[in-house]
């Protein structure tokens, strides 16, 4: 699986990119037909502390699930997004099993 990380209007450090790649590649344990993953990092211009937005878009046969999370840090948003994406992939896998039965 190819993982693309795109930081909008800032430069993400290598440690963050490495963590993102590690966590996103871990999603292969839940669904092994993932072709690619695109992760977008954005800093919202707001006075609130929760201004870091992370979006994960997976390329899988059929449709592309998308999860967006906003938090005070990209690391926290990443953990929330990966947890949500795991649930989404499990549901997707169950639907496929039901179709084939």
Domain boundaries of the chain, sorted by first residue: 2-100
CATH topology of domain 2-100: Double Stranded RNA Binding Domain (3.30.160)
pLDDT at 72: 94
pLDDT at 9: 85
Confidence of residue 95 (pLDDT cuts 50, 70, 90): confident
- The contacts found for 58-65 with CB under 8 angstroms, 24 or more apart, are 58/27, 58/34, 58/85, 58/89, 59/34, 59/35, 60/31, 60/33, 60/34, 60/35, 60/92, 61/33, 61/35, 62/92, 65/89, 65/92
pLDDT at 39: 97
Tokens 């800093």, residue located? 43
Residues 79-89 pLDDT 10s: 999 999 999 99
Predicted TM-score (pTM) of the model is 0.90
């Amino acid at each position: 699986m190819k993982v693309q990380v795109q930081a909008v209007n800032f430069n993400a450090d290598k440690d963050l990119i490495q963590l993102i790649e590690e966590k996103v590649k871990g999603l292969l344990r839940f669904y092994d037909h993932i072709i690619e993953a695109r992760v977008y990092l954005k800093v919202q211009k707001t006075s609130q502390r929760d201004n870091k937005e992370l979006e994960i878009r997976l390329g899988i046969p059929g449709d592309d699930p998308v999860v967006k999370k906003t938090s005070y840090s990209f690391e926290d948003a990443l953990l929330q997004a990966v947890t949500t994406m795991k649930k989404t992939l499990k549901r997707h896998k169950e639907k496929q099993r039901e179709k084939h039965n």
